[in-house]
Copies of this chain bind each other. A is one copy, B any other.
Amino acid sequence: MIDAAGLRVMRAIADEGSFTGAAVSLGYSQPAVSQMVRRLEQRSGTVLVERIGRNVRLTEAGQVLARYAVSVLASLDAAEEEVAAIAGLRSGRVRLMAFPSSSATLVPRALSLVKKRFPDITVTFSEGEPPESLAALHSGDCDLAVAFAYEGGDIGRGEDLDLFVSTKLLDDEVRLAVPRDHPLAAAGDADLADFAQESWIAGCPRCRGHLLSLSRQAGFVPKVSFETEDYIAVLGLVSEGLGVALVPDLILAAAHNPDVATLSLKPASRRAIHAVTTEDLQRVPAVKATLEALCESARAHTARHTPVSV
């Protein structure tokens, strides 16, 4: 029944002391103010301004409206400003969820970029493997997820296609990590079948699945002697000669171990790293900015590690 426009008019009249003055201060024409007052009066069923001679004065009811107008309009402006701040990247929050090993370089560099460009955006970060991160995205506990998929596999379940929007960040080459003194460490490439008799160290469940898949293609079943999700530990185990392991390039870039040699797989294998969000969240400025920062961070990685290929 009573709206912001009406209050604005009442306040302008209170401030200016005349309809004409109010109209000028609002950027309206004088009749606009005149009939706005009339509308308000017939809606509220009370006289709001007292026309005496050629100047106007607010009645008691009019003063009530003018008084409320101050606080209401201030709140309205504040709300508008807060929203504008979010739209203008001067405020905002992004809840990022990424799989553990992405925290090594990709994510930190992206967060740093965001921080540098938009100091008032707060990005909260938590670790999570694709199944959980997508669930969080779905349930609204997360705005942006960094996930990976080995070739041929999906990121999550089938819901990827239409529920989410994913942008590929980079292709992460999977390499074979062997002890530096391994007989085949000098060869540039490695045929997985040559390592059928080795002890294997497996990473996360999905990485282990990938290892099994690749070795099946190579015609053997790997002896998995260790399992750990911590790639630093994997490299440590490898360096001590306790086994060999498939390690993504992204990890090797962040954690180099001098006692470990890495070989390219002969049938190359890579995992695709995606940033996943929803159609709507993608258009939230802070999310968009973070996404772009992730892309740049990924580009920086790609440029450094595969400067010629692709």
Listed in ascending order, the chain A residues whose CB lies under 8 Å from chain B are 1-5, 7, 44-47, 49-53, 57, 59-61, 64-65, 68, 71-72, 75-76, 78-80, 82-84, 86-87, 92-93, 138, 140, 163, 278-281, 283-286
Which residue of chain B is the closest to A284 with respect to CB atoms?
Answer: B47
Taking a contact as CB atoms under 8 Å apart, the answer to whether B78 and A75 are in contact is: no
A52 CA / B283 CA spacing, docked (Å): 14
Which residue of chain B is the closest to A164 with respect to CB atoms?
Answer: B52
Q: Report if A79-B72 is in contact (Cβ < 8 Å); known contacts: A51-B280, A92-B60.
A: yes
Contacts of A93 in B (CB 8 A): 60
Between A and B, 11 residue pairs with Cβ closer than 8 Å are: A44-B80, A46-B284, A50-B281, A52-B278, A53-B138, A59-B280, A60-B92, A60-B93, A60-B286, A68-B78, A72-B76
A59 CA / B86 CA spacing, docked (Å): 11
User: Which one, B44, B64, B83, contacts A61 given CB within 8 A?
Assistant: B83
Contacts of A284 in B (CB 8 A): 46-47, 59-61
CB distance from A120 to the nearest CB of B (A): 13
One complex includes copies of this chain to the number of 2
Contacts of A52 in B (CB 8 A): 138, 140, 163, 278, 280
A47 CA / B288 CA spacing, docked (Å): 12
A53 CA / B7 CA spacing, docked (Å): 39
A163 CA / B55 CA spacing, docked (Å): 12
Which residue of chain B is the closest to A67 with respect to CB atoms?
Answer: B79
Taking a contact as CB atoms under 8 Å apart, the answer to whether B140 and A50 are in contact is: yes
CB-based closest 4 A-B pairs: A68-B79, A46-B87, A45-B87, A61-B86
Taking a contact as CB atoms under 8 Å apart, the answer to whether B60 and A86 are in contact is: yes
Taking a contact as CB atoms under 8 Å apart, the answer to whether B64 and A82 are in contact is: yes
Contacts of A87 in B (CB 8 A): 44-46, 61
Contacts of A138 in B (CB 8 A): 52-53
